[in-house]
Structure 1
Amino acid sequence: MSDIILGIDLGTTNSAVGVVDSGFPILLADEDGRRITPSAVWFGKDGGSEIGRKALRRRALEPGRVVTSVKRLMGRRFGEETEFPVAMARTADGGVTVLDHTPEQVSAQILGELKRIAEWRLETAIHKAVITVPAYFNDAQRAATKRAGELAGLEVVRILNEPTAAALAYGLDKLSEKSRVAVYDFGGGTFDLSILEMQDGVFQVLATHGDTRLGGDDLDLALARRAATLGNVEFDSLDAAARVKLVEEAERVKCALSSSEEAAFRVPFYDGANSLETAVVRADFEAVAAPWIARTLRHCRQALADAALSPTDLDAVVLVGGSTRIPAVRAAVAECFNREPDVSQHPDEAVALGATIQAGVISGALRKMVLLDVTPLSLGIETFGGLMNVLIPRNTTIPCKAGEMFTNAAAGQTSMRIRVLQGEREMSRDNWELGAFEVTFESLPKGQARVGVQFRIDENGILEVLARDVVTGKDTIVQIRSAAVDVDDIAVGKMVSESVEHAFEDMAERVFTEAKLKAEELLPAVEMVLAQGLATDVERSEIEAASTAVRDALSSGAATPLKQAVQKLDLATEALAARLVEKAMEEALERRLADG
C-alpha cells in the first residue's frame, strides 16, 4: 500500500481528500460521513487546536482565534492582503503570521486532518499527495502550498491547477472524444476560468484567467451588509463576534435563495442584547452579487480572447465550486457562452475528484493520461536598452524550457546582471521582476563573451533559471520560489489589459530603442571608416547625408523615421564595408605570403 497517493483539494472555504480504490476514484468521508472538511483551524490559548467543523463551532464565541480563508495568505507578503478574519502580524523577513502561525503552518493543520481521515479510512500510513491550487497562483503561492504539504508529513508529488483537475473529473468518461471545454470554477475564495482541449487522454490548457481574491466569501459578506442595512443595523460598528454571526447567517440565506425566492435573515441576540430579523428576496441578493458575477465574466471573455476562440467553438461549459449553485451565476454564464452550462459534476467535489484521478495516474492505479498546463504570463530577461526579451511566451505549455545566447555589450565587461521578468509589456520597467543575479566572466572585447540563459518550468509551475559562461562552462542556477512582488490576479488582469491598451506606444518605444542602439553602434563605425579615406566623393556625400538624417531622427525621438534612417545609412555603407573587408583579406594574404 506504500504507493498510495492522495488527491487533495485544499480549498479556501472547504477541502476534500480522495484516493483510487480498485480502479475507481473515491472521496473519503470523515467519522460523521461527510466528504467535505471546512478549511478552518481554531488555535486555543493553551496551544491546542481543532480543525474543520469543530473549529467553526467555536467561531461565534472566539472569532479572533478561528482562522478561515488562510489560502488567501499563502505565499504572500505582509500588507498585500489588507482584510482578513483575524489579526495579521509581520514577520522579521516581511512575511505574515496569524495567531503566531504562518499560513503554511495553518494549511498544514488542514492537510494533516485530511491525511488523518485517509489513513483512518484506509488503515495504512500514507506519505504522498497531489494538491490543487488556483490556476493563477504565482510561484511563491505554489511553493508555499508545497511546503504546507511537507509540514503535514506529505511528499507533494504534483501541484495541480484546480480547473485542470475539474476537467479531469469531467473528462474521465469522454477520453475518446476531442472537445474544448471551459471550466468556470467559482469557489469560496477564488475564481478561475480555464479553456481546455481534451483528446485521447490529453488535457491541454489553451488559456486561463482568474482572481485569487474573488469567491463566495465575498458574496456572504455583501449579503450580510445588505441584510444589516435592511434591518437598520450598522454592520461596520459591530464587534467581530457579531459580524461573524451575520456572515454565517448570510451564507445560510444565500444557499436558501438558490432554491427559494425569499428567505428570512434571522440572527437572535447578535450582540448579546439585540436581534436582527428581516426578509431577503432573491432580487436583493442578486443585486449585491451582480458586481462580483460581472468580474467573473470579464475573466471569461479575456480567456476566450487569449485562446482565439468564440463561445461557439466550445463543446461544453462546466460549472465547479459551490458559488455556481446560485441561479444568477448560472444564468450569467449561460448568456456569456450562449449555451446552458454543464452541471453534471458535484460542484464541491469535482476538483478533489480530479486531483484523485491525477494521483491515480501517477501511482499507476489508473491508466495513463497526460496533463499539459500553460504559463499565465510571459517570462524573460532584461536586455541592453531596457528591453524585455521574452524566452517563454504567455500560454506556453508546461513543463517547458527555452534558452538564448547573450554577449557582453561593452569591452572589458566582467559580469552580466540577469533580471528575470514576468509580464506582457515591451519595456522591462513595465513588467514585474521575479529575481535578479550576477553572472561573472572573463574580460573580453565587445560581443565576445558568451552567456547562455535557459528558463525551465517544471510540472508544478516553478521556474528555474540557468546561466552558463560558455567559455568556462561555469553554471549559475537560481530557483525562483518567493518573488517579493505582488503578483496577484487583479494585477495580472491589469497587466494584460495594459499590454493591449499600450500596444502601439510600447512597440513604437521598442522600435525606437532598438534603432537607437543600432545607430549608436553604427555612427562611430561610419566615422572611423570615412577617416580612412577609402570612400569615393559620391559615397562620402551619401554617407554623410545619411548620418545627418540618423542624428536628426535621434533628436526627434520618432521610431519609424529613426528606423528608416538607420536602414538607409546601413545601405549607404554596404559597398564601402565590402571594400574594407576585401582590403583586409588582401592585406592578410600578403602578410602570409611574406611570412612564407
Structure 2
Amino acid sequence: MIIGIDLGTTNSLVSVWRDGQVELIPNALGDMLTPSVVGLDADGAVLVGLAARERLITHPQLTAAVFKRYMGSDRKTLLGSQAFRPEELSALVLKSLKADAERYLGEPVEEAVITVPAYFSDAQRKATKIAGQLAGLKVERLVNEPTAAALAYGLHQSEPESRFLVFDLGGGTFDISILELFEGVMEVRASAGDNFLGGEDFSEALIDGFIAAVGKQHGLTDKTADPAVYQNLRKQAEQAKRALTGAPTATMTVLHAGEPLSWTLSDGDFLKLCEPLLKRLREPIEKALRDSRLKAIDLDQVVLAGGATRKPLVRKLVAKLFGRMPAMNLNPDEVVARGAAVMAGLKARDVALSEVVMTDVCPYSLGIEVSEQLGPGRFQPGFYLPIIERNSVVPISREQIVSTIVDNQPALHVSIFQGESRLVKDNIFLGELILPVPPRPAGQISVAVRFTYDVNGLLEAEMTVAETGEKHRLLIEDNPGVLSPEQIEERLAALAKLKIHPRELLPNATLLARADRLYQQLLGEQRQWLAQETARFQAVLESQDEALILPARTELKQFLDEIEGDGWL
C-alpha cells in the first residue's frame, strides 16, 4: 500500500487511494489535520501534532514549529538538551502520520508519495526524501504541491479540455502552477513560487502590528525576547485572522509582565499590514504566465490550495488579478493531500486511474559556472550558463559543450548552480566536480556537460571529455546542509532511541496541554475554575479506568470550549 502525504509547514495530512477514490486518514484525535509541530513532554517523550502545538506557549523551549522552511539546511533546533535537524523533526511528523495510516488501514505501510513546494531546491527535495527514510518510508515519488492540487482537481473536471492555474498559498510557502488538461493528459505548463511566503508571514505581520500599536508603550518591543509571549501572540494572530474572515474587527489580547494588553483591529488595518505580502504574491503569477506564454484571459479556472487562501483579502486579490472568482470546489486544506493520494494510486497502477497521464516541469534553471572572455587572454569567472531552462518538461536531459581557457590546463572545475541570475554568486550552489583533462593548448580540450533531471526533482550531471571519451558522473548528493549516507545511518540510530508518547494516551495529553496553556492566559475566577477542573480530570486519569476517563475527558473539553471555542483547528 502506497500512501500520500502532504507534509506542510503548518499542518500535515495523510491519504490513500483505495477502491477507486481518495480517502483522507484521521489522526489519533480523529482530526484530518495534524499540526506540523514536535515537542518533548515532562518525561522526555516525543509529542507530535496538536498536543505539541498546545505546548508552544507553555513550553517553548521544548517545542518546535515551522521547521519545514529550513529543510535542506544544517540548522539545528534545541528541544531541551537535544538538537534536531529540520529533516529529523519532519521525520517525526511523518512517523506519526505513518502510524495513523497503519492503524486506519490495518496493515504495515512502507511506501509513500510526499508533496513538496514546486520551488523547493534540489537540497530541500533531498532533505524531504531523507526525512521519509528516517521515518521508515520508501519515498516512491516527490510531487510538487500545486501539481498534486491540480491532479485532485482534474479528476473533478467535467470538461475534457481546460487550462487552469493553481494558486497554492500554504503556511510557509507560495506556489503557482499553470496546467493544461486534454484527452486524459494533465500537463504542467509553468511553475513559479516563493519558499518564504505563506500564512505564517501574515501572522507575523499581525504580531508586528500589535507591537507597534500597543506593545512598545508597555515595554514589549522585541517579539522574540520572551518565547512564551511570542507564541501567545502567534496564537492570537491566528485567531484574529480567522475572526476577520467573517467579522469586520478582531481583538488580540496577551498577558505581558502580569498586565493584559489588547488591540482591536479592522479588516482595513489587516489589509494595510499585509500590503507588502500581497505585492510579493503578484511576481510569481506574472512569471508563470510569461513562461507559459498565456494571458489571464486564456485560463478557464483559477484553483485555490493551501489553508492561507481562506483569507478574504487573498481571495479578493485573486479575483482582482484574474477578473473572476476562484474555484473552491475542494477544501483548500485537503486538496494537496488528495492529489498525493491520486499520485500514489498512479504509482500503484490502479485500474481506475489508467486513463490519467501526468507531466511536470523543472521549476528553476540549472547550469554551471563559466568564464567569459573580456579581451585578448583576459577571462572573467563567475558567469552562469543555464543547461536546463526553468519550466522544461521533466524528465529531461540537456547538454552543453565547454572548453579549457588556459594552456596545459590539468583539470576542469565544474561548479553546478540553480537559479535565474546572470552571475553565479546570486544563484544557489549545488555541487562541484573536478575533471582531469589532458594538457593541451587552450581551447583544444572540450567537455560535454549533460544534465539529467528526473520526476522527483533530482539532478545528475555527466561530463565527457571529447578527446579521451572519459566520463565522470556526479549525482548531486553532497549539497551543503544535506546529510550523507553515513550521517543518515547515525541519525536513524539516534531517532530509534527516542521515546514516543503512547498514541492511545495522546487525547489526554493534548487536553492537559491545552488546559495548561489556558491557565497561563486566564486571570481571576476563570483561572481558579480551570485549575479545579484540570485537577479533577487528572485524578480520574490516575484510576486508569477508560470507562471513567472518557466522560471526564469530554466534560473537560466542553469546559475548555466554553472558555475559548474550538482552539486553533
Q: TM-score, normalised by structure 1?
A: 0.73
* SS of the residue 1:312 aligns to: helix
Aligned partner letter, 2:420? E
Note the C-alpha offset of 1:327. Answer: 0.9
* CA distance in structure 1 between the partners assigned to 2:403 and 2:198 by the alignment: 48
Note the C-alpha offset of 1:403. Answer: 1.8
Aligned partner letter, 1:75? G
- Answering whether residue 353 of structure 2 is matched by residue 367 of structure 1, we say yes
Aligned partner letter, 1:373? D
- The residue number in structure 1 matching 2:151 is 168
* SS of the residue 1:224 aligns to: helix
CA spacing shift, 1:429–1:297, aligned 2, 3 Å: closer
- The residue number in structure 2 matching 1:195 is 178
- Answering whether residue 20 of structure 2 is matched by residue 14 of structure 1, we say no
- Answering whether residue 349 of structure 2 is matched by residue 352 of structure 1, we say no
* CA distance in structure 2 between the partners assigned to 1:175 and 1:426 by the alignment: 44
Aligned partner letter, 2:18? D
- The residue number in structure 2 matching 1:420 is 416
Aligned partner letter, 1:50? L
- Answering whether residue 87 of structure 2 is matched by residue 107 of structure 1, we say no
* CA distance in structure 1 between the partners assigned to 2:257 and 2:393 by the alignment: 56
* SS of the residue 1:167 aligns to: helix
- Answering whether residue 41 of structure 2 is matched by residue 54 of structure 1, we say no
* CA distance in structure 2 between the partners assigned to 1:430 and 1:217 by the alignment: 26
Aligned partner letter, 2:156? D
For residues 298-345 of structure 1, what are the alpha-carbon distances to aligned partners after superposition, in whole Å with 9 as ceiling and x for unaligned?
Answer: 222222222222110111111111111111111111111111111111
8 Å contact kept, 1:175–1:201? no
Return 300-309 or 354-363, whichever deviates more. Answer: 300-309
Return 367-376 or 114-123, whichever deviates more. Answer: 367-376
In structure 1, which of residues 426, 436, 442 is the aligned counterpart of residue 438 of structure 2? 442
Aligned partner letter, 1:120? R
- Answering whether residue 234 of structure 2 is matched by residue 251 of structure 1, we say no
* CA distance in structure 1 between the partners assigned to 2:339 and 2:266 by the alignment: 36
8 Å contact kept, 1:187–1:322? yes
8 Å contact kept, 1:229–1:235? no
In structure 2, which of residues 85, 96, 99 is the aligned counterpart of residue 116 of structure 1? 99
- Answering whether residue 121 of structure 2 is matched by residue 138 of structure 1, we say yes
CA spacing shift, 1:124–1:328, aligned 2, 3 Å: same
Higher strand residue share: 2
- Answering whether residue 270 of structure 2 is matched by residue 288 of structure 1, we say no
* CA distance in structure 1 between the partners assigned to 2:281 and 2:219 by the alignment: 29
- The residue number in structure 1 matching 2:204 is 221
* CA distance in structure 1 between the partners assigned to 2:167 and 2:281 by the alignment: 9
Note the C-alpha offset of 1:351. Answer: 0.6
* CA distance in structure 1 between the partners assigned to 2:422 and 2:206 by the alignment: 43
8 Å contact kept, 1:6–1:129? yes
CA spacing shift, 1:435–1:229, aligned 2, 3 Å: closer
For residues 413-432 of structure 1, what are the alpha-carbon distances to aligned partners after superposition, in whole Å with 9 as ceiling and x for unaligned?
Answer: 44322222334355656655
- The residue number in structure 2 matching 1:313 is 298
* CA distance in structure 2 between the partners assigned to 1:124 and 1:106 by the alignment: 25
- The residue number in structure 1 matching 2:259 is 274
The share of aligned pairs that are identical, in percent, is 39
Return 407-416 or 8-17, whichever deviates more. Answer: 407-416
Note the C-alpha offset of 1:375. Answer: 2.2
8 Å contact kept, 1:139–1:482? no
Q: Could you say which structure has the greater relative contact order, defined with CA pairs below 8 angstroms and 6 or more residues apart?
A: 2
* SS of the residue 1:195 aligns to: strand
- The residue number in structure 1 matching 2:228 is 241
Return 208-217 or 343-352, whichever deviates more. Answer: 208-217
* CA distance in structure 2 between the partners assigned to 1:331 and 1:108 by the alignment: 36
Note the C-alpha offset of 1:176. Answer: 5.8
* CA distance in structure 1 between the partners assigned to 2:206 and 2:235 by the alignment: 10
- The residue number in structure 2 matching 1:33 is 30
Note the C-alpha offset of 1:412. Answer: 3.7
- The residue number in structure 2 matching 1:571 is none
* CA distance in structure 2 between the partners assigned to 1:139 and 1:418 by the alignment: 17
Return 150-159 or 334-343, whichever deviates more. Answer: 334-343
8 Å contact kept, 1:205–1:372? yes
8 Å contact kept, 2:409–2:440? yes
Q: TM-score, normalised by structure 2?
A: 0.77
Q: Max radius of gyration: which structure?
A: 1
CA spacing shift, 1:45–1:469, aligned 2, 3 Å: farther
8 Å contact kept, 1:5–1:360? yes
* CA distance in structure 2 between the partners assigned to 1:283 and 1:216 by the alignment: 18
* CA distance in structure 1 between the partners assigned to 2:220 and 2:116 by the alignment: 33
For residues 559-578 of structure 1, what are the alpha-carbon distances to aligned partners after superposition, in whole Å with 9 as ceiling and x for unaligned?
Answer: xxxxxxxxxxxxxxxxxxxx
- The residue number in structure 1 matching 2:519 is none
- The residue number in structure 1 matching 2:455 is 459
* CA distance in structure 2 between the partners assigned to 1:399 and 1:420 by the alignment: 19
- Answering whether residue 70 of structure 2 is matched by residue 76 of structure 1, we say no
* CA distance in structure 1 between the partners assigned to 2:21 and 2:363 by the alignment: 32
8 Å contact kept, 2:72–2:481? no
Aligned partner letter, 1:367? L
For residues 30-64 of structure 1, what are the alpha-carbon distances to aligned partners after superposition, in whole Å with 9 as ceiling and x for unaligned?
Answer: 23321110000002475321000010122221112
* CA distance in structure 2 between the partners assigned to 1:323 and 1:426 by the alignment: 33
* SS of the residue 2:259 aligns to: coil
Note the C-alpha offset of 1:279. Answer: 2.8
Note the C-alpha offset of 1:167. Answer: 0.5
- The residue number in structure 2 matching 1:550 is none
* SS of the residue 1:60 aligns to: helix
- The residue number in structure 2 matching 1:376 is 363
8 Å contact kept, 1:88–1:97? no
* CA distance in structure 2 between the partners assigned to 1:228 and 1:130 by the alignment: 42
* SS of the residue 2:156 aligns to: coil
CA spacing shift, 1:138–1:206, aligned 2, 3 Å: same
For residues 149-171 of structure 1, what are the alpha-carbon distances to aligned partners after superposition, in whole Å with 9 as ceiling and x for unaligned?
Answer: 00000000111111111111111
Note the C-alpha offset of 1:239. Answer: 1.6
Note the C-alpha offset of 1:482. Answer: 4.8
* CA distance in structure 2 between the partners assigned to 1:457 and 1:216 by the alignment: 31
Note the C-alpha offset of 1:21. Answer: 1.4
* CA distance in structure 1 between the partners assigned to 2:106 and 2:332 by the alignment: 29
CA spacing shift, 1:33–1:478, aligned 2, 3 Å: same
* CA distance in structure 2 between the partners assigned to 1:271 and 1:135 by the alignment: 40
Name stretches of at least 5 consecutive residues in structure 1 with no aligned partner.
79-86, 90-95, 487-596
Note the C-alpha offset of 1:360. Answer: 0.7
Aligned partner letter, 2:109? I
CA spacing shift, 1:288–1:464, aligned 2, 3 Å: same
* SS of the residue 2:127 aligns to: helix
For residues 331-377 of structure 1, what are the alpha-carbon distances to aligned partners after superposition, in whole Å with 9 as ceiling and x for unaligned?
Answer: 11111111111111101001111111101110122414333222233
In structure 2, which of residues 322, 325, 329 is the aligned counterpart of residue 340 of structure 1? 325
In structure 1, which of residues 204, 211, 214 is the aligned counterpart of residue 194 of structure 2? 211
Note the C-alpha offset of 1:174. Answer: 2.5
* CA distance in structure 2 between the partners assigned to 1:97 and 1:129 by the alignment: 31
